[in-house]
Every structure is written in C-alpha cells, then in structure tokens.
Amino acid sequence: MAVRTTVDIPEPLHDRLRLRAERSGASIRSLIVRAIEQAYSEPKKGEYVTGPLVTGPAAWPRLPRRRDPMTSFFPDLNVWLALSVGDHRHNAEAWRWLNSVPPVAKLIFSRYTHIGCCAC
C-alpha cells in the first residue's frame, strides 16, 4: 500500500532530479523512492577497504627464477580496474607489472578474479 505525502524540494534540486529522470527514462517518483530505500536500507556487513591496495613495487608478484616460470596469472578486480582506468591511483604500478609479465604468460579473468572490493 502506498502513502501519499507532499514534500517541498528546492527548485535547483528538482531541476536536477527532473533532468536525471529524463536521461534515465525513469520517473521522478521512482528515483525518489530508490534514493530513500538506499538511504534507509540495512547497513552492509563488513568494512570497506580504505588503505592503498598496493604499497609499492615490492607488493607486486615477482616472477620466479626457475626454469619453469609461472605462465598463468589471475589478477583480481583491483588490478583490472587499475589497468582500465587511466587516472586510477595504481594505474602506473599496474602497467609496470603487466609489462614485466613474460609474453608467453596468460592473464585469466574469471568469476574468481572479479570477486573483490574496489577502493577507487
């Protein structure tokens, strides 16, 4: 059952809301309901990552000095994001690591590598 209510919204906020609704194809009502649901939803369990994911070049995997070097890598979501986003704070480190991977190596993206948390 829905309850009707009246709320005065500042005109600039209403204009932004109207533009967002037009761009997304959603109604103003649905945007407001979704925003209220998100604001008052149950808090997520766990904590967000707040520190840097990479503290320096030593944190990146080193290739073993064996005759049979590892040829498959499973970079996690954070590495893929750092490689994909040009202004990501770890973009340069991610590219240095990628460029150090031997040409015969395989980079694998799977459901296990995209389970992660981003601290972008």
pLDDT, tens digit, 9 for 90 and up, residues 44-84: 666 666 666 666 665 555 655 655 556 788 888 888 888 88
**What is the Rg, in whole angstroms, of the alpha carbon atoms belonging to the chain?**
22
CA distance 116 to 49: 10
94: burial class by Cβ within 10 Å (0-12, 13-18, 19+)? buried
CA distance 31 to 91: 34
Chain segment 16-48, per-residue pLDDT in tens: 999 999 998 999 999 898 888 888 877 666 666
pLDDT of residue 38: 82
User: With a threshold of 0.95, does the pTM exceed it?
Assistant: no
pLDDT of residue 79: 85
